[in-house]
Structure formats: C-alpha cells, structure tokens
Amino acid sequence: VSLEQATLYINEQTLTDASILHYVFFIYCQMVKQIPSRLLALSIGDTIGVFMLYTILERFDNIFRATMNINILNIPFRFDKYITTSLYNIFKKSSFMMNLIKKEQSKIEESFDKELKVKSRSIATSITCLPNKGIDHKDILDLMVKATKTENVPWETGRVSGAVYHGQHEHIHLLNAAFGMYSISNPLHPDIWPSVMKFESEIIAMTAALVSDADVSPVFGSTTSGGTESIILAIKAHRDFYREHYNIDRPEMVVGVSAHAAVDKACDMLGIKLIKVVLDPVSFSIDLTALKRALTPNTIMMYASAPSYPHGAIDPVRAM
C-alpha cells in the first residue's frame, strides 16, 4: 500500500481516533525511509507511540467508567499535564535552571538566617558544647523568664494567627501544674501510672463522641505529640488496615491541594501515592467532582480539612 492510497483511505472512511493513529503510524513507517536522521525518526516514532498508547487507554477508561465506575487513568491525571510536567522536569535539570534554583535557595537561606537565627543568637551567650561546670538553676530560670517576657507579648495581644490556641492564664497555670506532676510519667507503664491511662482513655472517648456515633461506628485512637504526628498515625492506620484486609500493596490517597503539609510527609514516609485534586474556586473546599474522578481501586483514604490550613475552609465531609 502506498502513502497516497493510505491517505485516501483515511479521508474516505469514518474512523475512530485509535484507528486513525494506527494509520498515522503506518504513514510514519513509510516516511521514515525518507528521513535522513535515524535519531529524528526514532523520536517521531516514540511520540506517535505514546499518543497511540494514551488513546487506547482512554478508550478503556471510558468503558470502565461507564460500566464499573473505575478510573484506570487515575483522573485528574491528564496527558497534557503529564507532558508539561515531564518537560518541566527535564528543563529543571538543565545547568541554567539548576544555577537559577541554587541562587534562589541561597537567598531564602540568607533571609531565614537574618529573620530567625539572629534573634535566637542574641539571647545571652551561645552554648555549643557541654560546659565544664553546670549553670546555676536560678540563672537558667532567670534567662527563661527574661526571654518569655518579650516573646509572649505578640500572641497575648492577638498578633499571632496560629501556634497558640488557648491563651487564658488560668488555663495555662492548670497545664503547668499538671505537667509538673506528670513530667516523669510514661504512658507505656500503666502499671506504675494507672491514672495516665484513665485520663488518656477519657480524652479519647470524649473526642470520639464529638465526631461519631459510637453505636453505629466505634472510634479508637491515642494521644500524640501534635497535629503532624496525629495525621501520620491516622494515615498509617489506613495503610496497614487496607494492606492486611484488602491486599492493597500500592496504596493511594486523595487530598485537596489545601491539605496540611504533614500529609506529604506521611505519604513519603509510608510509601503511599499522593493524589492532589483542585479546590472549588468559590468555597476553596475540595472539589467533589475532581475527588470522585481521582478514586481508584487502590484508594485507601480520602482526606478532609476542617478547617483547611491556608484558607480556613471546611471540606464537605458528609458529602465525601
């Protein structure tokens, strides 16, 4: 079959995209004889091959979506986005971009040093190794009193957007007294400190009652050192559960782009593929359509923010 015959046949027939790509590939095979550079010919062939593969996968994707609500292409993955990202990654590794990135990183490090480290270094004399003679208790406390006297002013006057979530001094005194009594306790030894187990269990039970109906779905948990550890442990629990009960060894997690940074840390640590979807442009909560399209048989968890860290928006938990 000649090149002219193949072209005429394409023009005369109503063909699917996939069929056209097959003929385009055939035409390429005819043209390759006329291309002087073998490298150029291979590059053109690879490009056509990628488009053919994606077209075939897209056909299967439409079938699976319509029949079994399964998304094999893991939308919101799009081919154009994949190409853009790939080109960016290639460009990023060029010497020009690497030098540019290095300069910007240096600027950030210098700014960080000036804005934060200078403040900490200005507090008394810097101690970089254990002194031959320990510092007197009174001197240590005096140093801390002097430092906190100025450091507490911003949040006490309402000029800090986060970090401190309860600033009443009466409550702070209660916390300090409690910490003093249990500073050497260890929750791993309830046989020695049974009251620690009692208090922790009651805190977990009260928290569970706020977010669930115990008669329908009992909630379990543990206390942690903070938000980041809580997020990591929750994600780990999902990964372990679905690996044990559903044999999912390539877990995926779907979140909005506004999800807490601890999610990125957890997925990196635990070997979970993190899929981020767009937000609703009006409410800044997670886009439910994008969320639904991103779900796959390997999805072990959806993440909702209530509220989200950057915008304070509430994701539609019940709808999710």
Helix H, strand E, coil C: the string for the chain is CCHHHHHHHHHHCCCCHHHHHHHHHHHHHHHHHHCCCHHHHHHHHHHHHHHHHHHHHHHHHHHHHHHHCCCCCCCCCCHHHHHHHHHHHHHHCCHHHHHHHHHHHHHHHHHHHHHHHHHHHCCCCCCCCCCCCCCCHHHHHHHHHHHHHHHCHHHHCCCCCCCCCCCCHHHHHHHHHHHHHCCCCCCCCCCCCHHHHHHHHHHHHHHHHHHCCCCCCCCCCCCCCCHHHHHHHHHHHHHHHHHHHHCCCCCEEEEECCCCHHHHHHHHHHCCEEEEECECCCCCCECHHHHHHHCCCCEEEECCCCCCCCCCCCCCCCCC
What is the rounded CA–CA span in Å between residue 103 and residue 111?
12
pLDDT of residue 169 exceeding 90, the answer is no
**Mean pLDDT, range 27-43, rounded to an integer:** 58
What is the rounded CA–CA span in Å between residue 17 and residue 21?
6
Q: What is the pLDDT of residue 14?
A: 44
286 φ/ψ angles, rounded to the nearest 5 degrees: -65, 140
Whether pTM > 0.75 for this model: the answer is no
Instruction: Point out the least confidently predicted range of 57-71, 80-94, 241-255.
Output: 57-71
Over pLDDT 70: what percentage of the chain? 74
pLDDT of residue 193 exceeding 90, the answer is yes
**Mean pLDDT, range 100-115, rounded to an integer:** 85
pLDDT of residue 29 exceeding 70, the answer is no
Give 274's pLDDT tier (boundaries 50, 70, 90).
very high
Over pLDDT 90: what percentage of the chain? 42
pLDDT of residue 15 exceeding 50, the answer is no
